[in-house]
Amino acid sequence: MIYNCLIINALLSTGGYVIAVRLIPGFRQKFIDKNRVGKDLCKKNKKEIPESMGVLIGLVFLVVLFLFIPVPFTLGEATKTGSKAATFPHEKFVELLVALLSIAVMMLLGFIDDIFDLRWRYKLVLPSIAMIPLLMVYAVYYNLTTIIMPKFLRTFVGYSLDIGALYYIYMGMLAVFCTNAINILAGINGLEVGQSLIISTSILLFNFIELSLGHQVDAHKFSIYLMLPFLAVSLALWKFNKYPSQVFVGDTFCYFAGMTFAVVGILGHFSKTLILFFLPQIINFLYSIPQLFKFIPCPRHRLPKYDSKSDLLHISTTDFDKNELNMLSRLMVTVLKSLKLITWQETPDGKVKTNNFTLINFVLLVFGPVHEKILTQMLMGFQILCTVLALIIRYPLANYFYDT
Amino acid sequence: MIYNCLIINALLSTGGYVIAVRLIPGFRQKFIDKNRVGKDLCKKNKKEIPESMGVLIGLVFLVVLFLFIPVPFTLGEATKTGSKAATFPHEKFVELLVALLSIAVMMLLGFIDDIFDLRWRYKLVLPSIAMIPLLMVYAVYYNLTTIIMPKFLRTFVGYSLDIGALYYIYMGMLAVFCTNAINILAGINGLEVGQSLIISTSILLFNFIELSLGHQVDAHKFSIYLMLPFLAVSLALWKFNKYPSQVFVGDTFCYFAGMTFAVVGILGHFSKTLILFFLPQIINFLYSIPQLFKFIPCPRHRLPKYDSKSDLLHISTTDFDKNELNMLSRLMVTVLKSLKLITWQETPDGKVKTNNFTLINFVLLVFGPVHEKILTQMLMGFQILCTVLALIIRYPLANYFYDT
Provide the 8-state DSSP code for A38. Answer: E
Q: Which is it for the CA torsion A124, A31, A12, A239, positive or negative?
A: negative
pLDDT digits (tens, 9 = 90+) for B70-128: 998 876 444 444 445 567 888 888 999 999 999 999 999 999 999 998 888 888 899 99
pLDDT at B240: 97
| Residue of A98, A140, A145 best to disrupt the B interface, most CBs of B under 10 A | A140
pLDDT at B80: 41
Cβ under 8 Å to A: B residues 333-362: none
Which stretch of A2-6, A8-12, B5-9 has the lowest confidence by average pLDDT?
A2-6
User: At B318, which helix (H) or strand (E)?
Assistant: strand B317-321
A-B contacts (CB, under 8 Å): 131
pLDDT over 80 (residue A1): no
pLDDT at B301: 84
pLDDT at B81: 44
A279 CB burial (10 A radius; 0-12, 13-18, 19+): middle
Ranges of beta strands (E only) in B150-250 are 160-162
pLDDT at B120: 81
Nearest CB partner across the interface for A79, out of B62, B86, B143: B143
Query: Which residues of B fall within a CB distance of 8 Å from A110?
Result: none
pLDDT band of A35, cuts 50, 70, 90: confident
pLDDT at A91: 85
Is B73's CB within 8 Å of A101's CB?
A: no
Q: Please report the ipTM that was assigned to this predicted complex.
A: 0.92
Residue A83 near residue A247, CB atoms below 8 Å: no
User: Which residue of B lies nearest to A86 if distances are taken between CA atoms?
Assistant: B86
Residue B113 near residue B123, CB atoms below 8 Å: yes
β partners of residue B146: B162
Dump the DSSP string for B232-290. Answer: HHHHHHHHHHSSSPSS--HHHHHHHHHHHHHHHHHHTT-HHHHHHHTHHHHHHHHHHHH
pLDDT at A404: 53
Ranges of beta strands (E only) in A126-201 are 146-148, 160-162
Closest CA of chain A from B277, distance in Å: 29
pLDDT at B7: 95
pLDDT over 60 (residue B141): yes
pLDDT over 60 (residue B171): yes
pLDDT band of A3, cuts 50, 70, 90: confident
pLDDT band of A79, cuts 50, 70, 90: very low
| Residue of A31, A96, A105 best to disrupt the B interface, most CBs of B under 10 A | A105
Query: Which residues of A fall within a CB distance of 8 Å from B129?
Result: 59, 63, 66
Q: Which is it for the CA torsion B357, B360, B365, B366, positive or negative?
A: positive
Q: Is A209 on the interface with B (CB under 8 A)?
A: no
d(CA B244, CA B258): 24
Cβ under 8 Å to A: B residues 90-119: 90-91, 93-94, 97-98, 100-101, 104-105, 107-109, 111-112, 115-117
Residue from A111, A154, A398, A321 nearest B114 by CA: A111
pLDDT, mean over chain A: 91
Query: Which residues of A fall within a CB distance of 8 Å from B125?
Result: none
pLDDT band of A153, cuts 50, 70, 90: confident
Cβ under 8 Å to A: B residues 141-200: 141-144
d(CA A97, CA B95): 10
Query: Which residues of A fall within a CB distance of 8 Å from B116?
Result: 27, 30-31, 34, 36
Query: Which residues of A fall within a CB distance of 8 Å from B35?
Result: 35
d(CA A164, CA B109): 37
Is B30's CB within 8 Å of A67's CB?
A: no
What percentage of chain A exceeds 90 in pLDDT?
Answer: 73
pLDDT, mean over chain B: 91
d(CA A71, CA B269): 25
Neighbours of B291 (CB within 10 A): 18
d(CA B356, CA B184): 13
| Residue of B108, B109, B114, B125 best to disrupt the A interface, most CBs of A under 10 A | B108
pLDDT band of A146, cuts 50, 70, 90: confident
Which stretch of A43-57, A143-157, A257-271, B297-311 has the lowest confidence by average pLDDT?
A143-157
Position A124: which residue type?
L
Cis? peptide before A50, omega within 30° of 0: no
d(CA A223, CA A219): 6
User: Which residue of A lies nearest to B73 if distances are taken between CA atoms?
Assistant: A140
Is B111's CB within 8 Å of A108's CB?
A: yes
Average pLDDT over residues B19-44: 92
Q: Is A61 on the interface with B (CB under 8 A)?
A: no
* Polymer length in residues for chain A: 404
pLDDT over 70 (residue A222): yes
Residue B364 near residue B370, CB atoms below 8 Å: yes
| Residue of A33, A62, A100, A225 best to disrupt the B interface, most CBs of B under 10 A | A62
pTM for the full model? 0.93
Nearest CB partner across the interface for A70, out of B73, B129, B136: B136
Query: Could you tell me which residue, A161 or B361, shows the higher pLDDT?
Result: B361
pLDDT digits (tens, 9 = 90+) for B322-359: 988 999 999 999 999 999 999 999 999 999 999 999 99
pLDDT band of B276, cuts 50, 70, 90: very high
Q: Is A401 on the interface with B (CB under 8 A)?
A: no
Closest CA of chain A from B95, distance in Å: 10
Which stretch of A155-164, A257-266, B124-133 has the lowest confidence by average pLDDT?
A155-164
Cis? peptide before A304, omega within 30° of 0: no
Q: Please, what is the angle between helix A2-33 and helix B90-116, to 10°?
A: 30
User: Which residue of B lies nearest to A55 if distances are taken between CA atoms?
Assistant: B112
Query: Which residues of B fall within a CB distance of 8 Å from A93?
Result: 90, 94, 140
Residues near B353 by beta carbon (within 8 Å), at least 6 away in sequence: B317, B318, B319, B343, B344, B345, B346
| Residue of B136, B160, B252, B256 best to disrupt the A interface, most CBs of A under 10 A | B136
Query: Could you tell me which residue, A356 or B2, shows the higher pLDDT?
Result: A356
pLDDT band of A403, cuts 50, 70, 90: low
Provide the 8-state DSSP code for A354. Answer: E
Nearest CB partner across the interface for A94, out of B34, B80, B94: B94
Closest CA of chain A from B167, distance in Å: 15
Is A137's CB within 8 Å of B59's CB?
A: no
Nearest CB partner across the interface for B101, out of A73, A101, A116: A101
Burial B57-75 (b: 16+ CB within 10 A, else e): bbbbbbbbbbbbbbbbbee
Residue A189 to residues A244, A271, A280, A404, Cα–Cα distance (Å):
7, 29, 17, 40
* 3-class secondary-structure state, position A315: coil
Number of Cα atoms under 13 Å in the Cβ half of residue A134: 33
pLDDT band of B403, cuts 50, 70, 90: low
pLDDT at A64: 97
d(CA A29, CA A49): 10
User: Which residue of B lies nearest to A136 if distances are taken between CA atoms?
Assistant: B70
* Polymer length in residues for chain B: 404
Residue B179 near residue B187, CB atoms below 8 Å: no
pLDDT at B363: 96
